[in-house]
Amino acid sequence: MKKYLLFSVGLILITALIPNMFFKLANGDPQEASAIPRELTSYSKVVKKVMPAVVSIESKSKAVTKERGFLPRRFFPIPEIPEDFRKFFGQFPDQFDFGDEFSPMLGFASGFVIDPSGIILTNNHVVKGADKVIVEFQDGRKFTAKEIRSDPKTDLAILIIDGNNFPSLKMGNSNKIEIGDRVLAIGAPFGLIGSVTAGIISGKGRNLQMNMYEEFIQTDAAINPGNSGGPLVDLEGNVIGVNTAIKTRTGGWQGVGLAIASDLVEKVWPQLHKDGKVKRGFLGIQVAKLDPDVASRLGVPKNQGVLISKVFENTPAFKAGLKDGDVLISIQGKKVRDGQQVQQIVTGLLADKIVELGIVREGKSIVVSVTIEEQPQEFGLSTQHPLQNQEADGTTLENLGIKIADLNSERAKQFGFKKASEGAVITYVEPGSLAFEAGVERGHLITKVNNQAVKNAEVARKALQSSSLEKGILLQMQSPHNGTSFALLKVVSGK
Instruction: Please list the active-site residues.
Output: 125, 155, 228
C-alpha distances out from residue 477 to 279, 282, 311, 350, 397, Å: 33, 25, 14, 33, 17
Burial 272-287 (b: 16+ CB within 10 A, else e): bbeeeebebbbbbbbb
- Pairing relation of β-strands 119-123 and 105-115? antiparallel
Kindly report the CA angle at 412 between 409 and 417, in degrees rounded to 5? Answer: 130
Q: Do residues 184 and 233 lie in contact, with contact meaning Cβ atoms separated by under 8 Å? A: yes
- Pairing relation of β-strands 473-479 and 231-233? unpaired
d(CA 474, CA 451): 7
Q: Do residues 53 and 165 lie in contact, with contact meaning Cβ atoms separated by under 8 Å? A: no
How close are the terminal C-alpha atoms of the chain, in Å?
A: 82
How many other C-beta atoms can be found within 10 angstroms of the C-beta atom of residue 406?
A: 18
d(CA 405, CA 48): 67
Q: Residue 301 carries which DSSP code?
A: P
The half-sphere exposure of 171 on its side-chain side, counting CA atoms within 13 A, is 20
d(CA 68, CA 361): 56
In terms of Cα–Cα distance, which of 177, 181, 259, 261 is closest to 222?
Answer: 259
Please enumerate in sequence order all residues whose Cβ is within 8 A of that of 9, keeping only pairs 6 or more positions apart, or say none. Answer: none
d(CA 400, CA 461): 11
C-alpha distances out from residue 402 to 320, 350, 489, Å: 36, 45, 12
DSSP characters over 117-186:
TTEEEEEHHHHTT-SEEEEEETTS-EEE-SEEEEETTTTEEEEE-S-S------B--TTT--TT-EEEEE
